[in-house]
Amino acid sequence: MALFVVERDLSNTSPEQLRLEQRSLGSACIRLKAQGRRIRYISSAVVPADGSALDLFGADGAELVKEAHGVAGIQYSRIREILDVTPSFLPRGTSRSRRSLPRVVGRVVHVDREKGTRPTMTANSAPELTRWLTEGQRLFGVCLEALEQFERLQARNQTLEAENEMLREEVARLRQRADVLQGDRSEMIAAFNDLAGHVTQVIDHILQKSEDGENSK
């Protein structure tokens, strides 16, 4: 894989937003890797004086790095391919990361604290360091997948809450409608009873007249 550096403008980006964008980039790389694409989000650096960021990626091509930013929905200034020309002849004390690793002998870590010397690495530590890096990348991927799953579950939970709220409102409307119908039913029953009583009185009156007419004959 080739190395690519991506320049981004952070003049209007808060630290929290930067962390979210880094997480989105990592998630995008994981999705592309799941599709069999070769891309790796290596590191990020910020230039406070310029308000910019430099992100380092390993990928098969610049188009793949562009696609990762498109998937993550992150804007960038430009993408440039770079070459790692760190010389191999530099002494170990000259070329060292800002976080020094303990000196490893076999599988035992030794740190000389009494003499106040900084820990160093031996030639035998390369396999162990490779294992640490591989395990770190795997754990990073697991963490990103867990974050993605959490976000999906959170979105699903919000959707269910909205649906539950709609259902509660619908139930309230149905109960109100049922109360109205119950009131209408009671009024109809009362009106029907009044009508039945009136009809009964009319029939009784007619029958009474008929009986009186027969008796008069």
One digit per residue, the tens of pLDDT, for the chain of length 217 reads: 899 999 999 988 888 899 999 999 999 999 999 999 999 999 999 988 888 999 999 999 999 999 999 999 999 999 999 988 777 666 655 554 444 434 333 333 343 444 444 444 444 555 665 666 677 667 777 777 787 788 888 888 888 888 888 888 888 888 888 888 888 888 888 888 888 888 888 887 787 777 766 666 5
β-bridge pairing 78-82 and 108-110 = unpaired
What is the helix (H) or strand (E) element at residue 82, kind and residue range? strand 78-82
* Residue 130 confidence (pLDDT): 65
* Residue 214 confidence (pLDDT): 64
Residue 75's CB: how many other CB atoms inside 10 A? 9
The CATH number of domain 1-84 is 3.30.70.3090: yes
Residue 196's CB: how many other CB atoms inside 10 A? 10
* Residue 38 confidence (pLDDT): 93
With contact defined as beta carbons under 8 Å apart, do 112 and 100 qualify? no
Structure tokens at 190: 């009362």
Q: Tell me the sheet residues that pair with 8.
A: 53
* Residue 116 confidence (pLDDT): 45
